[in-house]
Amino acid sequence: MSNETLSNLSREERRFPPSEDFAANANLKEEAYERAANDLEGFWAEQAERLSWDQKWERVLDWDNRPFAKWFVGGKLNAAYNCVDRHVEAGHGDKVAFHWVGEPVDDTRTITYAEMKDEVCKAANALQELGVSTGDRVAIYMPMIPEAVIAMLACARIGAPHTVVFGGFSADALASRLVDCNAKAVITADGGYRRGAPAALKPAVDEARAKTAAQGHTVEKVLVVRRTGQDLGENGWDDAVDVWWHDAVDKASPEHTCEFFDAEHPLYVMYTSGTTGKPKGILHTTGGYLVGASYTHWAVFDLKPETDVYWCTADIGWVTGHSYIVYGPMANGTTQVLYEGTPDSPERGRWWKIIQDHGVTTFYTAPTAIRSFMKQGREIPDRFDMSSLKLLGSVGEPINPEAYIWYRQVIGGDRVPVVDTWWQTETGSIMISPLPGVTHGKPGSAMTAIPGVSADVVNDEGESVPNGSGGYLVLTQPWPAMLRTIWGDDDRFKDTYWSRFAKQGYYFAGDGAKKDEDGDIWVLGRVDDVMNVAGHRLSTTEIESALVSHPKVAEAAVVGAKDEDTGQAVCAFVILREEAGDGGEDIVAELRQHVRKEIGPIATPRQIMIVAELPKTRSGKIMRRLLRDVAEHREIGDVTTLADSSVMDLISQGLSSGK
Ligand code: WT7
């Protein structure tokens, strides 16, 4: 975002205070900010009381061995017990946990907390029967069906950290994650419904398993849910490894006595893109994470568990699905909607119909979705009764003021608060957001850190910038749901997040931000080689490596260019190998397909430009800034640090002559 757009943005003068009624009944009031600031550990200890502990902690925070934190030291708990059993024990067994909506119309299931408990216990027994024990890693590669949630909680119940891999990722991406965390088992499905048709998953697991085997890694068991009934293909079943969920789980006992684990027992590993080609396995542990997820879900969404129907549209393959479908909402005993498919299947009003049918009160989605609905026009949502809504949330990328206003007016009937929530896979829970009953929301700003969290914007020296200035977004105090490390790579953990502002001991988020005249925070996007495409994090290097692995490619540079629909889009500049000639007329399609296969459809470049040279500094670093200028059709910036300043002319000429 240029400085000019930025200052236009922060001149935004519209303010949206909550209604008097909302403010009066809000879960968290203004005094919480001060209470938390005065006694951070006391505040978090109070939040931890919302969970059931088998053994209480001795110490709230151990920050002696920075940056390796321990929260609720000595405490013992079980995450699955907290998400299901205790609600049943408290007499809420008949409460609906999920109104599940399959993509095919009328394919629905209603699941109560009591049923959820039985299913989680059966799956936990089945996993143990299959040889999975405490500490083993289990990969989950599934569509958005109830079994995905059950699988996650079954792993949590037996203390086997899960790693959920988004179902849209390729076999290669799955394989590298299986190897990195040395997963013993995979839970998957034959397929799921996407855009009106079954989309296969199991064949990708088979392919990934073959790839890991070639690297000496063994997946011992693959547990398969039958969802679509689609053909598994030739050699699509291996009796020694594959087990049907309906054979193993349905037969298992619904009685399972859970073990209580240390608060720091690993709960899950979630892979996310960093600045190098290798995804980082972000490790979250049990106690602090569950405290962070449940507290923020209660505070930021103003959860009223008796009456709310909450719907988060994220996939469980992302951290949003972990914190705000599974762990936060379920620890709070929430009734939720879970939807399997795409927003426009079978018709464009599908989401709004789901809100109407289920009386959704609280809706959490991403700006990229909002923008695409905006484009389709308000006639579609206007056909539905969405008067049940009382709060709207946004996450994943900055929400531009136009999209915020549209969301508030068209979806929220101009009545309900919008919370723009900033956080990351690493932070585990929401960090910066309006408090819906307190904050007077400003379209485009995530506002300030929530009570219990300390954020700031600092300059290169790590000094807090004055209001009206920009810099780097940092978190200045530890928080319970913080990542504990990168799986198997403590050095990369220290280096990536804690070395930039080591002197101050701040967590460096990798985002640029600005404080406006009121001190409210505007998140501007990544300052590193990470792109944000439709709210999904992708690394430029990862896509470059995928391109370079194609036999016709010599060199590649990838940038994220501004895109009206997806925020940013992947733009690639590729130099072909000499022996490839001009690559053939389908070269661009061929390369796009190659990236899809290597990483997954979300990484497919919007644009691939075949060029003769790439702009590099004298030390050989690709100057992506200049390529971004080309991709965004801007005048090309300062080229004085280029080793060969004529390169940019060459690129521009090549492009305008259509090469
Ligand atoms: C990056 C984290 C947290 C779940 C979704 C993505 C960007 C996220 C916002 C927001 C501006 C945002 C940041 C951040 N981001 N939410 N409300 N406003 N930017 O998780 O894949 O770990 O990505 O998403 O750039 O660093 P993630």
Which pLDDT does position 658 carry in this prediction? 45
Cβ atoms < 10 Å from Cβ of 618: 9
CA angle at residue 278 from 431 to 575, to 5 degrees? 115
**What spacing in Å lies between the alpha carbon of 396 and ligand 1's midpoint?**
4
Locate the domains of the chain by residue range.
Answer: 534-655
What pLDDT score does 2 carry?
A: 45
DSSP 616: B
Q: Do the annotations mark residue 550 as ligand-binding?
A: yes
Nearest CA to ligand 1 atom 25: 525
Q: Is residue 199 exposed (0-12), middle (13-18) or buried (19+ Cβ within 10 Å)?
A: middle
Which atom of ligand 1 lies at the shortest distance from residue 525's CA? 25
User: For residue 30, is pLDDT > 50?
Assistant: yes
Residue 654 in this model has a pLDDT that exceeds 80? no
Ligand 1 centroid distance, CA of 608 (Å): 26
Q: Encoding tokens for residue 358?
A: 């289920």
Mutational test site, ligand 1, from 395, 399, 514, 539, max ligand atoms within 8 Å of CB: 395
Q: Calculate mean pLDDT across residues 84-98.
A: 98
Average confidence (pLDDT) over 436-455: 97
640 compared with 605, residue with greater pLDDT:
605
Query: How high is the pLDDT of residue 389?
Result: 98
Does ligand 1 come within 6 angstroms of the Cβ of 425? yes
Residue 421 counted as an annotated binding residue: yes
596 among annotated binding-site residues: yes
Residue 21 main-chain phi, psi, to 5 deg: -65, -45
Is 347 part of any known ligand binding site? no
ipTM: 0.99
CA of 568 to the centre of ligand 1 (A): 13
pLDDT in tens, 57-68: 999 999 999 999
646 pLDDT higher than 90 = no
C-beta 404 within 6 A of ligand 1? no
What would the pLDDT profile of 365-419 be if each residue is shown by its tens digit? 999 899 899 989 999 999 999 999 999 999 999 898 989 999 999 999 999 999 9
Counting atoms of ligand 1 from 1, which one is nearest the CA of 510?
26
| CB of 422 closer than 6 angstroms to any ligand 1 atom | yes
Q: Which atom of ligand 1 is nearest to the CA of 526?
A: 25
396 close to ligand 1 (CB < 6 Angstrom): yes
The more confident residue out of 486 and 234 is 486
Q: Does domain 534-655 have CATH number 3.40.50.880?
A: no
- pLDDT at site 644: 79
587-598 vs 540-548: helix crossing angle, rounded to 10: 120
Q: Does residue 526 have its Cβ closer than 6 Å to ligand 1?
A: yes
Q: How confident is the model at residue 115 (pLDDT cuts 50, 70, 90)?
A: very high
pLDDT band for position 8 (cuts 50, 70, 90): low
Interval 426-437 mean pLDDT: 98
pLDDT at position 527: 87
**Would you say the CB of residue 560 lies under 6 angstroms from ligand 1?**
no
For a mutational test of ligand 1's pocket, the pick from 269, 418, 422, i.e. the residue with the most ligand atoms closer than 8 A to its C-beta, is: 422
Per-residue model confidence as pLDDT tens digits over 465-505: 999 999 999 999 999 999 999 999 999 999 999 999 999 99
State mean pLDDT over 342-359.
Answer: 96
Whether residue 479 is annotated as binding a ligand: the answer is no
pLDDT digits (tens, 9 = 90+) for 300-338: 999 999 999 999 999 999 999 999 999 999 999 999 999
| pLDDT bracket for residue 1 (50, 70, 90) | very low
pLDDT(656) > 70 = no
Q: What integer is the mean pLDDT of 127-152?
A: 98
**Ligand 1 proximity of 157 Cβ (cutoff 6 Å):** no
Give the per-residue pLDDT at 80.
99
Burial 173-198 (b: 16+ CB within 10 A, else e): bbbbbbbbbebbbbbbbbbbbbeeeb
Q: Classify residue 239 as exposed, middle or buried by CB count within 10 Å of its CB (0-12, 13-18, 19+).
A: exposed
In the prediction, which pLDDT does 623 show? 83
Cβ neighbors of 282 (< 8 A, separation 6 or more) are 269, 270, 271, 272, 319, 425, 426, 483, 486, 487
Q: Is the pLDDT of residue 641 over 80?
A: no
How many Å apart are CA 400 and CA 123, to the nearest integer? 43
Take residue 556 and report the two structure tokens written for it: 């590649």
The radius of gyration of the chain's CA atoms, rounded to the nearest angstrom, is 24
State the average pLDDT over residues 177-187: 98
Least confident of 189-193, 350-354, 438-442, 598-602: 598-602
Q: Average model confidence (pLDDT) for the chain? A: 94
- Determine if ligand 1 sits within 6 Å of the CB of residue 532: yes
**pLDDT score recorded for residue 642:** 76
pLDDT of residue 74: 98
Q: Is the CB of 367 under 6 A from ligand 1?
A: no
pLDDT of residue 9: 60
Q: Kindly write down the DSSP assignment for every residue of 481-512, as one continuous string.
A: T---EETT-HHHHIIIIISTTTTTTPEEEEEE
Is 520 annotated to bind a ligand? Reply is: no
Q: What is the mean pLDDT of residues 4-21?
A: 76
CA of 17 relative to ligand 1 center, distance in Å: 24
Flag whether 397 is marked binding.
yes
pLDDT at 537: 87
Q: Is the CB of 444 inside a 6 Å radius of any atom of ligand 1? A: no
Cβ of 514 closer than 6 Å to ligand 1, yes or no, is no
- pLDDT at residue number 624: 84
pLDDT of residue 659: 40
Is residue 548 annotated as involved in ligand binding? yes
- pTM for the model stands at 0.92
Relative to the CA of 422, which ligand 1 atom is closest? 17
- The torsion angles phi and psi of 393, rounded to 5 degrees, stand at -125, 155
Residue among 229, 227, 188 nearest 207 (CA): 188
Centre of ligand 1 to C-alpha 501, Å, is 20
> Is residue 512 marked as binding?
no
Q: What percent of the chain has pLDDT over 70?
A: 97
Whether pLDDT at 277 is above 90 = no
CA distance 18 to 521: 19
Taking the C-alpha atoms of residue 525 and residue 509, their distance in angstroms, rounded to an integer, is 10
**pLDDT band for position 283 (cuts 50, 70, 90):** very high
